[in-house]
Amino acid sequence: MLDRRLFLISGTAALLAGCSSTQRTLAPTIPGDAAPKRISPEYVAMYGPLLDERFPVPAVKLTDIDPVYYRQLVDYSSPEPTGTIIVDTPNRFLYLTMEGGKAMRYGVGIGRAGFEWGGSARIAYKKEWPTWTPPAEMIARQPELEEFRNGMAPGIENPLGARALYIFEGGRDTLYRVHGTAETWSIGKAVSSGCVRLLNHDIIDLYNRVPNNTKIVVRQA
């Protein structure tokens, strides 16, 4: 049952959930020594160009991202069943629980202050290279989005990126999504209008691992 103190009601969600950042911030500085550190060949290969996609995905500029947010298998204890998506909002991680006390961990960008949401729901369905349609309320705030009132065609610049997972409470669309992004600088940040964003490489990986009706839990603390 969804925690209604955390999960915004549908009308408010329509106002907030555009899944698009509206203002670019400076790229984060990688903690540590001033001199750039050598990135493992494993990650270079993991985040290399994906040329077989419908819209080729360029390699990730890994120096834009704190290495803690690179995709990795980690030890993780949770009361949730294997195959559950858990979003750790404060720490900017998404976990996919696995057997043996393990999880696949991904770095994420999450909603700005005032756009946060949380609770327990399900992934009703998934889409490859989805169309993005900004809510009417978002267009009212940002008139430059009028041209996309009937939808923005899929592509590398589409705010939903290469894949989208659609979050429902029972039969109701919450209007929140787990989706991809080409804005590498946003990973680990609070930037989007309510949705959870992963690197395009990572959302493709997650998309391939989870079926429809996967449980998703979003934690605010």
Question: Which residue did the predictor score with more confidence, 37 or 176?
Answer: 176
Q: Is the pLDDT of residue 47 over 90?
A: yes
How many structural domains are present in the chain? 1
Question: Which residue did the predictor score with more confidence, 21 or 15?
Answer: 21
Q: 203 in a domain, yes or no?
A: yes
Q: 152 in a domain, yes or no?
A: yes
Q: What are phi and psi of 70, to 5 degrees?
A: -70, 150
Q: What CATH number is associated with residue 18?
A: 2.40.440.10
DSSP secondary structure, 55-81, as one string: SPBPPP-GGGS-GGGS-EEEE---SSP
Q: Is the pLDDT of residue 37 over 70?
A: no
In the set 19, 175, 195, 196, the catalytic residue is 195
What's the angle, vertex CA 124, arms to CA 120 and CA 128, rounded to 5? 125
Q: 174 in a domain, yes or no?
A: yes
179 is catalytic: yes
Q: Is the pLDDT of residue 32 over 60?
A: no
Q: Which domain holds residue 53?
A: 10-22+45-219
201 is catalytic: no
- Judged by DSSP in three states, 93 sits in strand
In the set 126, 163, 177, 179, the catalytic residue is 179
Q: 160 in a domain, yes or no?
A: yes
The pLDDT of residue 212: 98
Q: Is the pLDDT of residue 187 over 90?
A: yes
The pLDDT of residue 9: 36
**The two structure tokens encoding residue 82:** 């294997």
The pLDDT of residue 35: 45
- Across the range 149-166, mean pLDDT stands at 96
- Could you report the per-residue pLDDT of 113-126, keeping only the tens digit for each? 656 678 899 999 99
